[in-house]
Structure 1
């Protein structure tokens, strides 16, 4: 399955409902980025100003699909996903334009890639693709390291197929520290339902759940 492929209808409807009800939809770019940062800091797998080399060291010997999000070291990009592929660590840059986030890619593929209101929603989308298929293939996305050269040696030789696609599998985030049990429970609940307000829980707990409405 390729990243530009459609999600299952029920998943698409979930994302659309969330986008339609998102009060941030009309915000300025500055507010959108601030909201994205807030969500990222709640994930536990956002590593801030980590370098590409440091990310590679963290991902070393990790199973395929292990990933983290960090600040991009390139001026034109805000964030980067560092992920372990079958060929080694790969860096996938995240582009922010017109209030939306999407993976960086070659010019011909860019119009086909989905855009998202937040970085966490983008990651959640590709994690969901990974759960629903054996591989989520990103055509040309992130096929360059942040310096503009080829991927690091461990990935440059074989991380791309003859058609020029990078095989992307996002399954297991790398946390900066052991996440709180409350947060793990929140993520688990979000995987089971989007109707938090219907749960027989105190309002305080509902507020905690809705403060991070993602399942990864």
Structure 2
């Protein structure tokens, strides 16, 4: 065959079956697009770095874990309701309660507080609760004081990072004479909690 464009005999005899499109992984969350998707992905990474994000922990187990903790201790977990991403379970005087974190128009909401980062939102909630509790629609007052981490003992680097952020704030990092590697470590998780 000269200059032919036909396939060799062996390949042309091959039967090609239509391949169905792969199934999307099961998800109980709505689909996010563009910047909203990036925000949610970044938020999950930040929550995982926090040490107090417990993933798909059932409500009953979260409440059992918090039962023996101090009042105000909280953890973040996946919401058991499909139209919400996260829930915060908190040890209250009356026992553990869970509150959904709303995600609306690019912001995470916990009562009247909001932020584009769930860890920053919880940091704001802890600061606010030092003065006044958060009020729920049903009259329950929420007090958040400290997270329940998967690992209770922080590394020396984590303790130093928290101390630097507490004393200098996120805004003050640029002015500190610290090595680039340390600066990156602090900027990876620039939160007080």
Q: Same fold (TM over 0.5)?
A: yes
The residue correspondences of 1:167-182 to structure 2 (distance < 5 A) are 167-177=141-151, 178-182=153-157
- Structure 1 residue runs of 5 or longer lacking an equivalent are 1-26, 106-112, 141-163
1:185 CA displacement:
1.8
Counterpart in 2 of 1:137? 134
Instruction: State the distance in 2 between where 1:138 and 1:40 align.
Output: 24
CA-to-aligned-CA distance 1:93-150 (integer Å, 9 cap, x gap): 00111111102x6xxxxxxx2321011111010111123x1x413232xxxxxxxxxx
Bigger Rg, structure 1 or 2: 2
Counterpart in 2 of 1:118? 117
**Contact 1:101 1:116 survives alignment (8 Å):** yes
1:200 CA displacement:
2.2
TM-score by length of 1: 0.69
1:211 CA displacement:
1.2
**Contact 1:137 1:165 survives alignment (8 Å):** no
SS of residue in 1 equivalent to 2:74: strand
- Structure 2 residue runs of 5 or longer lacking an equivalent are 1-33
**Contact 2:113 2:125 survives alignment (8 Å):** no
Q: CA RMSD in A?
A: 1.4
Counterpart in 2 of 1:95? 102
Instruction: State the distance in 1 between where 2:167 and 2:101 align.
Output: 28
Counterpart in 2 of 1:75? 82
1:60 CA displacement:
1.1
1:193 CA displacement:
1.1
Runs of 4+ displaced beyond 3 Å: none
Instruction: State the distance in 2 between where 1:136 and 1:60 align.
Output: 20
Counterpart in 2 of 1:214? 191
1:168 CA displacement:
1.0
Instruction: State the distance in 2 between where 1:41 and 1:165 align.
Output: 31
TM-score by length of 2: 0.77
Aligned length: 157
**Contact 1:44 1:179 survives alignment (8 Å):** no
CA-to-aligned-CA distance 1:2-49 (integer Å, 9 cap, x gap): xxxxxxxxxxxxxxxxxxxxxxxxx61100001111110111111111
Instruction: State the distance in 2 between where 1:71 and 1:210 align.
Output: 25
1:189 CA displacement:
1.4
The residue correspondences of 1:29-44 to structure 2 (distance < 5 A) are 29-44=36-51
Instruction: State the distance in 2 between where 1:37 and 1:89 align.
Output: 24
Counterpart in 2 of 1:192? 167
